[in-house]
Amino acid sequence: MGFRRWLIKALGGQDGTTTTELAVDAADEVLDDAIPEPEDPLEAEAAGLDFKSAIEAHQRWKIRLNDVIAGRSQEDLDPAVVARDDCCALGKWIHGVGGDQFATQPEFAELKRRHAHFHVCAGHVLILAQSERKQEALEEINQGNFATISREVVMHLAHMYTRLKQ
């Protein structure tokens, strides 16, 4: 499966059909013939960042936070650390090689801003969960700011990947 189809599935779609119509419609708008299908179908690296891995890592935050809410997590997560945008692979790229190469690009600046907001929202969900405000935490994950910014980060990663691959 090429990166384009993988991304649509990651956003909730199944080869063009989806239960998350808004996310996939947005993906199609960004990806409609813009993302070249690489010769190696799993190749999603550009400018020193594996975009597929970065997207998957950010999507795993929903699972990790749900595990905290449900009491299944074995992780000792600190909201102050989770809220930092420079600790994950994407954040290190944004504050390092990516920033060095693309800081003047509007697409990059927007990705950086939204990625930072994603981590603030993830930290907020963790605070809610750790404060026994589990229903509020679930609402944030499923339909609140966390859900919205999570999709936006994925879409901005797709924009950057598209720009870098052209």
Confidence label for 46 from pLDDT (cuts 50, 70 and 90): confident
Q: For 98, which DSSP code?
A: H
Q: Does residue 113 or residue 18 have the better pLDDT?
A: 113
- Max mean pLDDT among 4-13, 25-34, 132-141, 154-163 falls in 132-141
Confidence label for 43 from pLDDT (cuts 50, 70 and 90): low
Question: If you search the block for the tokens 């996939």, which residue do you land on?
Answer: 24
- Summarised one tens digit per residue, pLDDT across range 56-79 is 998 899 999 999 999 999 999 999
Q: What local confidence, expressed as pLDDT, does residue 165 receive?
A: 75
Closest CA to 51 of 11, 89, 81: 89
Judging by beta carbons within 10 Å of its beta carbon (0-12, 13-18, 19+), is residue 29 exposed, middle or buried?
exposed
> Can you list the domains of the chain with their CATH numbers?
46-165 (1.20.120)
Evaluate if residue 141 carries a pLDDT over 80. yes
Reading the block at residue 102, the tokens are 């693309």
Q: What local confidence, expressed as pLDDT, does residue 106 receive?
A: 86
Q: Does residue 127 or residue 163 have the better pLDDT?
A: 127
